[in-house]
Amino acid sequence: MSARKSTTKQSAKAPHKFQYDAIVIGTGPGGEGVAMQLSKAGKRVAVIERYEMVGGGCTHWGTIPSKALRQSVSRLTEYNSNPLFNDGNQIRNLTFQDMLGHASAVIRKQTQLRSGFYQRNNVPVYHGEASFIDTNNIQIKRSDGSIDTVSAEKFVLATGSRPYTPKDIDFNHPRIYNSDTILSLKHEPKHIIIYGAGVIGSEYASIFRGLGIKVDLVNMRDRLLSFLDAEISDALSYHLWNNGAVIRHNECYTKVEGRDDCVVMDLESGKRMRADCLLFANGRTGNTDMLNLKAVGLSTDSRGQVKVDSNYQTEVDNIYAVGDVIGYPSLASAAYNQGRFAAEAMLNGQCDSRLIEDIPTGIYTIPEISSVGKTEQELTAQKIPYEVGRAQFKHLARAQISNNLVGSLKILFHRQTKAILGIHCFGERASEIVHIGQAIMQQKGEGNSMDYFVNNTFNYPTMAEAYRVAALNGLNRIFD
């Protein structure tokens, strides 16, 4: 819904000091959470979206498209490896462009859904680039060059983030991509260099290997995704290696040269790499540089992020911030809740709700990874007496039926109380499976116990049965 002509009318009708009680800048998960909560509380709310469609980077360039691509590759791999459908003589192939069609359809559906939220809740959407004039007024520059000025009592920064693009790399070169522009891949590469082995880099390494494209994955650290439990990180490394990806640890680039037919990358170690194209996936920057924050006395760090307190309030009393622009945990799921909690603080003066202590992590590599709670390394360092229960997917009837034999579930629990301390899952549907354990972890007192998984009746055959298998495996290790 466009709000271009609403400025004068609302000013004339309402005897309010400002046109809106609150203006939210950005329509990603964080901005949506704020806007919906405030609107349902009866507040006059508007949102500003830089692009023509709502949804933010999560919907258009990040979470949704990359996971849609991953799903297509995963199903293709499953088809080609299942003897029921393929005898090995009729391997099915898809190109990156083929899969983008599916991703585009998902994006379109998500955009329509989210647009409907704003319409049904009577939240005007201004399309254009926002910049502050002062603490209560903001200007919106539209694509046609026209400018609107709107006012509000309070503002929320929910502008998200974009890929970090160092100046010594020419991202205008047709063979050099970042994690946003890779969705416009014009080539059909046979070989790609992925610089940065974080979540995004690892996910795209799985996608391109699944398409049969050679992958060089350059990691600046000594292991993949070092925040994960070490066994899970090692499992990912093994499966990428086993699928043919070349992983180069403890490496940093010194020079990137885009040529007509290839990209050449020089590393500090003296190595030289050449591939058809480069995906640079090393970090992200908060989208705050265009907001003219100096006009309101607000500063950012080197990555464009702003500081907030426990109420998501910045150093400027009437300006709040949520999502990627405040840093950790930089997850779409968490950003939505941050938005809701910020709205609570704006309505009541303070926020009594908090993000849960153990936020689940979902990593959509092939196979998938998901975890919640402590790792073995953290529990060992804290000298907490724990035990491990494991279930291998290859032993589960449902996994055998679906031919998804790779993976396992690991439960970490306290030796004395049997309380669940951490859950780590590697394999198909890991990001779904982890929530069963998370629900029990969140119970208080005796409700959080491994006994639940032993005594509960699970549907058979299901992947959820892994919890019973892992619980029995772990409790069998306990002795006096």
Q: What is the DSSP string of 398-436?
A: HHHHHT---EEEEEEEETTT--EEEEEEEETTHHHHHHH
Instruction: Give residue 254's Cα distance to chain centre.
Output: 29
Please, are residues 371 and 424 in contact by the beta-carbon 8 Å criterion? yes
The whole-number pLDDT of residue 186 equals 81
Cβ atoms 469, 433 nearer than 8 A = no
The model's confidence at residue 7, banded by pLDDT at 50, 70 and 90, is: very low
Please give the pLDDT value at position 8. Answer: 38
Write the DSSP string, 440-470: HHTS-GGGS-THHHHHSPPPSS-GGGHHHHH
**Final residue belonging to a domain, choices 282, 303, 335:** 282
Say if residue 277 is in the same domain as residue 296.
no
Q: Is residue 456 within 8 Å of residue 470, measured between CB atoms?
A: no
* pLDDT value, residue 87: 67
* Same domain membership, residue 12 and residue 122: yes
Domain co-membership, 268 together with 298: no
In a domain, 85, yes or no: no
263: left (phi over 0), alpha (psi -120 to 50) or beta: beta
Q: Is the pLDDT of residue 12 over 50?
A: no
- For 195, the domain range is 176-282
CA dist list (Å): 158 to 24, 219, 321, 345: 7, 30, 6, 16
Does residue 299 sit within a domain?
A: yes
Last residue of a domain, one of 265, 282, 299: 282
> pLDDT by residue (tens digit) across 169-206?
999 999 999 999 998 888 889 999 999 999 999 999 99
Question: In this structure, are 255 and 319 located in the same domain?
Answer: no
- How many whole angstroms separate alpha carbon 408 and alpha carbon 392? 4
**252 DSSP assignment:** -
> Is 360 within the bounds of a domain?
no
Residues 376, 437, single domain; the answer is yes
Query: What CATH number does the domain containing 437 carry?
Result: 3.30.390.30
The structure tokens listed for 336 are: 């939505």
Quick check: is 171 in a domain? no
Residues 452 and 322 both lie in one domain: no
Q: What is the pLDDT of residue 88?
A: 63
Closest CA to 296 of 130, 47, 123, 50: 130
Residue 81 predicted with pLDDT over 90: no
Domains of the chain: total: 3
Residue 263 belongs to a domain: yes
User: If residue 100 lies in a helix (H) or strand (E), which one and from where to where?
Assistant: helix 96-120
Q: Is residue 192 domain-shared with residue 316, that is, in the same domain?
A: no
117 burial type by CB count under 10 A (0-12 exposed, 13-18 middle, 19+ buried): middle
Q: What is the mean pLDDT of residues 17-21?
A: 94
Q: Three-state SS for 279?
A: strand
Mean pLDDT over 233-252 rounds to 96
Q: In this predicted structure, what is the pLDDT of residue 395?
A: 97
Residues 274 and 289 in one domain: no
- Find the range with the poorest average confidence among 185-189, 193-197, 280-284, 450-454: 185-189
- Distance, in Å, from the CA atom of 17 to the CA atom of 139, rounded to the nearest integer, reads 17
pLDDT mean over 34-56: 95
Are 112 and 149 contained in the same domain?
yes
Instruction: Say which range, 67-71, 133-137, 418-422, has the weakest mean pLDDT.
Output: 67-71
Measured over the CA atoms of residue 343, residue 347, residue 351 and residue 356, the dihedral's sign is negative
With vertex at residue 110, the alpha carbon angle to CA 105 and CA 111, rounded to the nearest 5 degrees, is 95
Q: pLDDT per residue over 360-377, tens digit each?
A: 999 999 999 999 999 999
What average pLDDT does this structure show over 240-261?
A: 97
pLDDT, residue 5, reads 41
What the block records as the tokens of 469 is 């298998």
Pair type for strands 214-218 and 246-248: parallel
Spell out the alpha helix ranges (H) of 248-329: none
pLDDT at 3 over 60: no
Considering only CA atoms, which of 459, 457, 452, 462 is closest in space to residue 389?
452
Annotate 434-447 with three-state secondary structure: HHHHHHHHCCCHHH
Whether residue 6 is predicted with pLDDT greater than 80 in this model: the reply is no
DSSP state of 313: B
* Contact by Cβ (8 Å): 207, 68: no
- Backbone angles phi and psi of 300, in degrees to 5: -130, 165
For residue 4, what pLDDT is reported?
A: 47
How far apart are alpha carbons 49 and 142 in whole angstroms? 10
Averaged pLDDT score across all residues of the chain: 92
Residue 23 identity (one-letter amino acid): I
Residue 87 lies in a domain: no
* pTM: predicted TM-score of the whole model, two decimal places: 0.91
Share of the chain above pLDDT 90, in %: 78
Element holding 72 (H helix, E strand): helix 63-81
Question: Is 22 found in the same domain as 150?
Answer: yes
456: number of Cβ within 10 Å: 13
Q: Which residues 6+ apart lie within 8 Å of 199 measured at CB?
A: 225, 363
Residue 240 contacts residue 205 (beta carbons within 8 Å): yes
**How confident is the model over 418-423, as a mean pLDDT?**
97
Residue 297 has pLDDT above 90, yes or no: yes
Distance CA 397, CA 389 (A): 19
**Do 412 and 322 belong together in one domain?**
no
Buried b / exposed e over 362-373, threshold 16 CB at 10 Å, is: bbbbbbbbbbbb
324, part of any domain: yes
Residues 109-138 pLDDT 10s: 999 999 999 999 999 999 999 999 999 999
Whether 78 is in a domain gets the answer: no
Residue 30 above 90 pLDDT? yes
- Domain edge (last residue) among 231, 256, 282: 282
CATH of the domain at 327: 3.50.50.60
- Rounded-to-integer distance, Cα 127 and Cα 4, Å: 8
How far are the Cα atoms of 65, 157, 362, 451, 478 from residue 62, in angstroms, in the given order?
6, 19, 14, 39, 44
Q: How many residues would you count in the chain? A: 480
pLDDT-derived band of residue 15, with 50, 70 and 90 as boundaries? low
- Looking at the structure, tell me whether residues 180 and 261 fall in a common domain: yes
